[in-house]
Amino acid sequence: MKLPILHIDDQLAVIHKPPGLLVHRSALSRDRVFVLQTLRDQIGQRVWPVHRLDRATSGVMVFGLDPASARDLAGQFERHEVTKEYRALARGWVESEGVIDHPVRDDAEGGTPQAAITHYRRLAQVELPVAVDRYPTSRYSLVAVEPLTGRRQQIRRHFKHISHHLIGDTTHGNGRHNRFFRECYGIHRLMLTAQRLAFHHPTTGEAVTFTALPEPEWERLMEAFAWDLSNL
């Protein structure tokens, strides 16, 4: 497979990560294909990861192409100088905007809860005349999400915490709504995409922004729900 490359120069490479792909090898996984090794082989040089996306999450990722650039980029993430905006599809009508301030464990099992903060704003909403759960209709929201901290599965856990589970989340989501989207819209993935990433170039210091590529699942839902992407 080839990864979609959004930008590449001597210091960094920016890609669009597909859903369902681990970033690097893990002792807990038997996967044989990973983002890190695939990108390395694709561009013919070593790459350094500076942040992470969950296996199920798609979207924009940046890699350093030398140790100094990787350190600079990683430092920007650690100092919360990077703007990360995600697009998510949530069950229910989410408030127009809000902040979720709720501790999250970095480890799936055990570990000390760490401070975690997520900002969100609703972009669009829809009500369908279908009784997926106990109500006669079903409501969904398209949400822009900005995590201010980077805990493991933070966005997914935070939206579960406020009872607006993300569609396609098989770990923290709602099985009835996941099944509805599989059967009616052919959605077999987590509807969470790293939509926009903004940081400073490690060499020039220039502010740069990269946006995720269009994805067929999102385009399908935008058309089905008459949501206009140009206004989002």
pLDDT at 39 over 70: yes
- Catalytic annotation, pick one of 10, 41, 54, 72: 54
- Cβ-based neighbour number of residue 136 at 10 Å: 8
Sign of the CA dihedral with 110 first, then 149, 34, and 67 last: negative
Q: Residues 174-198: pLDDT tens digits?
A: 999 999 999 999 999 999 999 999 9
Q: Please give the pLDDT value at position 25.
A: 66
Catalytic residue list contains 54: yes
Q: Please give the pLDDT value at position 111.
A: 77
What is the CATH code of the structural domain delimited by 5-231? 3.30.2350.10
The percent of residues above 90 in pLDDT, for the chain, comes to 86
Question: With bands split at pLDDT 50, 70 and 90, how would you rate the model's confidence at 87?
Answer: very high
- Mean pLDDT (the chain, rounded): 93
Q: Please give the pLDDT value at position 6.
A: 98
Q: Residues 42-54: pLDDT tens digits?
A: 999 999 999 999 9
Sort 50 into a burial class: Cβ within 10 Å, 0-12 / 13-18 / 19+.
Answer: buried
Q: Please give the pLDDT value at position 33.
A: 81
pLDDT at 130 over 70: yes
Locate the domains of the chain by residue range: 5-231
Q: What is the mean pLDDT of residues 33-48?
A: 94
CB proximity list for 74: less than 8 A, separation 6 or greater: 50, 51, 64
Rounded Cα–Cα distance for residues 16 and 194 (Å): 9
CB proximity list for 28: less than 8 A, separation 6 or greater: none
Question: With bands split at pLDDT 50, 70 and 90, how would you rate the model's confidence at 110?
Answer: low
Structure tokens at 214: 């269009």
CB proximity list for 63: less than 8 A, separation 6 or greater: 12, 13, 14, 15, 36, 39, 47, 48, 49, 50, 70
Helical segments of 23-118, H only: 35-43, 67-78
What are the b/e assignments for 75-101, b being 16+ CB within 10 Å?
ebbeeeebebbbbbbbbbebeeeeebe
Q: Please give the pLDDT value at position 112.
A: 85
The neighbouring-strand residues paired with 210 are 197
pLDDT at 109 over 60: no
The CA angle 178-158-175, to the nearest 5 degrees, is 15
